[in-house]
Amino acid sequence: MSEEQTAVFGGGCFWCLEAVFARATGVKSVESGYMGGRRENPTYEQVCAGASGHVEVVRVTFDPAQIAYRQLLDIFFTIHDPTTLNRQGNDSGTQYRSVIFYASDDQRRQAEQAIADLTAARAFPNPIVTAIEPAKQFYLAENYHQGYYAGNSSAPYCQYVIAPKLKKFEQKFANKTAP
């Protein structure tokens, strides 16, 4: 039995990332939160104001015997646009930037390799702007953000923004998340 590991990703609204990663085989939990900024214990309002420096992120706890870190990276790059700086769709600001917060040198190397591979394959029409940074203090977002899609799937934002990402994930990764 392998030990669980964590991965932290920022790529737009954390509700979107959480909803998708929660469906990946081998993912044990997904928590929405904040990372990368200057303010301790930030609130959603402070992060949205853009002055905290934090990014909306998800902390993914996974079993590497069931899903490899590289597969999580593949999911990450599939469900958001890594070529837009500080924006995902209508969500704009530094709190929505594309970033991978690595927990180890191995995660850093794999993230760098994933970007190099996508760039070489010309997977996107524009350059990838995803930052790769060492993980910092993770601050858990407020309770109402946790499992947001599961409790609000009929809300307009969920229907128009999250549901298409889920469909894209299911089409590309259904039954394909074993290492």
Residues with a known catalytic role: 13
Tell which residue, 93, 167, 174, 84, has the closest CA to residue 131: 84
Contact 73, 66 (CB under 8 A): no
Dihedral angle at the C-alpha atoms of 144, 150, 156, 157, nearest 10 degrees? Answer: 60
Name every residue whose Cβ is closer than 8 Å to that of residue 143 and which is 6 or more positions away in sequence.
Answer: none
Contact between residue 177 and residue 66 where contact means Cβ atoms under 8 Å apart: yes
Residue 55 near residue 72 (C-beta atoms within 8 A): no
The answer to whether 100 and 9 have CB atoms below 8 angstroms apart is yes
Dihedral sign (CA 144, 149, 152, 155): positive
